Amino acid sequence: MPMPPTQSVHDRTTAATAVLPEGAPSLPTRVSWGAVIAGAVVALTIGLMLNALGAGIGATAVDATARGTPSASSFGIGAAIWVLVSNLIGLATGGYVAARLSGTSDNTDGTLHGLAVWGTTFLISAVLLGNLVSGIASTATAGASSLLGGAARGAGSAVSAVGQQVANRTDTGTLQSATQGLVDRVQGALSGNGGNPAAMTSDQRKAEIGTLVTRRVTDGQLSQSDRDRLNQLVAAEYNISPQDAQSRVQQAEQQATQAARQAEETARRAADAAASGASVAAFSVFGIMLLGALASVLGARRGTRDLLTFRAARVG
């Protein structure tokens, strides 16, 4: 009896191997962007409609004649709660619409469609809000520019008219004389530095007092010689005794130091308040987005189609 031809293990393995084209997907895509966009549109529309309803209800609560209008804090809390609830209702409905229109019967696919609606809705809202803020800022900037431009043109016209009148009424010699007098006055005030305070003019003493005070503010302290010089200048300028001048200077320094400390403390409190406000705002946005994601997922799970099972009856 003849034996069948033998086949190697390699040949049998090769014969059973299926050849697939390169780059072929293992599973078909299951995302429906049409359903996602439709759900996002529905979510935005419902949220906008409910917010408009809330604005109408809030306007009816204002009663200026009877003075029964709620406080601003009550209005703010009520408005925030209404906006949150409106957005959650819109996102839940949008997730339901997306999952239902996608035609999927898999809960995971329905959940992912709901999350896609949530992300799309928040991105569109962020873009619209950014454009609104940008438009308001642009309008305000344009108005301010027009106002400043008109004021600048008006000021330029006024300066031109005044300059024309001055040019018509004043000759070159008079202007040069007035300018030279101003320069001489400044030079005289500056040249009194280091002289006898009693022999100096009031302008000279004030100029040197201003120099010493500026040095005290910028450097934080004065040398003993500068402090004694400041006391002498104050005593001569205000015609008081050296002891009274010293007390007045010390009192002014204490007041300036106290004012600087108060300004620093105020700046620190303002910085802390700004940081706290930014932290609260960031956590609030995170919480709102998290609640929105949960609402979208719940709506999508509710809108996912049920898988129907059919059982065939036995014959015989």
| Tens-place pLDDT, residues 25-44 | 555 667 889 999 999 999 99
Q: State yes or no: pLDDT of 294 exceeds 90.
A: yes
Q: State yes or no: pLDDT of 249 exceeds 90.
A: no
Residue 57: partners with Cβ closer than 8 Å, 6 or more residues away: none
Average pLDDT of the segment spanning 275-302: 91
Render pLDDT for 187-238 as a digit per residue (tens, 0 to 9). 554 455 557 887 888 888 888 888 888 877 777 777 888 888 888 888 888 8
Average pLDDT of the segment spanning 170-193: 54
Contact 107, 299 (CB under 8 A): no
pLDDT of residue 57: 85
pLDDT of residue 137: 55
User: What's the predicted TM-score (pTM) here?
Assistant: 0.56
| Nearest residue to 88 (alpha-carbon basis) of 316, 305, 296, 310 | 296
Torsion-angle region of residue 239: left (phi > 0), alpha (psi -120 to 50) or beta?
left
In angstroms, rounded to a whole number, what is the distance separating the alpha carbons of residues 92 and 264? 49
Query: What confidence tier does 167 reach under pLDDT thresholds 50, 70, 90?
Result: low
Q: Which long-range CB contacts under 8 A does 67-72 form with residues at least 24 apart? A: none
- Higher pLDDT among residues 222 and 84, named by residue: 84
- 3-state DSSP: the chain helix, strand, coil percent, rounded to 5? 80, 0, 20
Q: State yes or no: pLDDT of 75 exceeds 50.
A: yes
pLDDT of residue 218: 77
Per DSSP, the residues of 259-297 read HHHHHHHHHHHHHHHHHHHHHHHHHHHHHHHHHHHHHHH
Q: State yes or no: pLDDT of 1 exceeds 50.
A: no
